[in-house]
Structure 1
Amino acid sequence: MPRSGADLALALLGGFRTLTDAAIAELARRGYDDVRPVHDFAMRAVAAGAESASELGRRLSVTKQSAARTIAVLQERGWVTSEADPRDARRKRLRVTPLGFEVLTQGEAVFDELRARWAEQLGEAELERFEAQLDALVGVLPIRFDTPGWISRDLGEL
């Protein structure tokens, strides 16, 4: 009996969650404690030019206050820093630190290792076929990781 469309969506979400949870656990084993997907989204947004809490909030589709809390956590962990804006001394600009980039790089390596495990389970050819099928269904353009708030957007935009 075929699955429903909702079951398919949940299975895809389950795959994302399985990979993400495994990556978080592996990063913790490697000494990067308590990394969360929002930290990755936020650091990528900062690296791409989100220089303030307001801009980060817009890119993450969260309030400025929520973005500020995320920034505080990232700064506490040494992954993001703020520095004086050379164009306006009253402003501070956010920057990803070398340690922050290390966390991002380690995360990417962990996901590559997790993909390799899936390839061992399914076979490389089967996993490549699955990936090609996903590309055919969802497209090959990269997903914007700095916009997790898409779930809360107005459905009138669709």
Structure 2
Amino acid sequence: MRFMTSIWRLHRDLGHELGPLLAEGAHTDPRTYFLLNTIRDGAHYPKTLSECLGIPPNLLSRLLTDLHSQALITRQVDTQDSRRVRLTVTTEGQALLDRAEAIMHDRLGARLKQLSPAELSVLLTALDRLSSPETPPTCTGPHP
């Protein structure tokens, strides 16, 4: 199917392109970026984060431990429910996100410049329509 092949190729190409750039310029990787970004955008609890990113809880626990040990996130007992742990991005984590986003915007912008403004509008509208309407707001975040 042409659609799936094109999506897969774009995903693969971006991964090959962005992975080394993020490692060199932001000292991170795409997975760490998406974890921090999703936390920053409102998925403040491990269960929500696991659901948003499709990461099994046991793997997510290890990833969060790594982020915490790097001082990129904090873990605090939720003030409303002491059985829950609330995650927040630290100042260091936000600085990493800022560096990573600058790199990603630069590279993605270069690719998107291949499209006319009308083509870009059609692409974004189509992707929004094809995305799951059931996705909670914390999984999509406030950033366009």
Q: TM-score, normalised by structure 1?
A: 0.65
Aligned amino acid, residue 137 of structure 1: A
Alignment of 1:26-65 (within 5 A): 26-33=21-28, 35-36=29-30, 38-65=31-58
Is 2:4 the counterpart of 1:9?
Answer: yes
After superposition, the Cα gap between the structure-2 partners of 1:47 and 1:129, relative to the gap in structure 1 and judged at 3 Å, is same
Give unmatched runs, 5+ long, in structure 1. Answer: 1-5, 148-158
Give unmatched runs, 5+ long, in structure 2. Answer: none
Equivalent residues, number: 136
Aligned amino acid, residue 25 of structure 1: P
Is 2:121 the counterpart of 1:132?
Answer: yes
Counterpart contact for 2:112–2:120, Cα < 8 Å: no
Q: TM-score, normalised by structure 2?
A: 0.70
Distance 1:98 1:127 in 2: 37
Q: CA deviation at 1:84?
A: 3.7
Structure with the larger RCO, 1 or 2 (CA within 8 Å, 6+ apart): 2
After superposition, the Cα gap between the structure-2 partners of 1:20 and 1:128, relative to the gap in structure 1 and judged at 3 Å, is farther
After superposition, the Cα gap between the structure-2 partners of 1:62 and 1:106, relative to the gap in structure 1 and judged at 3 Å, is same
Give the superposed CA RMSD.
Answer: 3.2
Is 2:73 the counterpart of 1:83?
Answer: no
Identity %: 20
Distance 1:96 1:21 in 2: 26
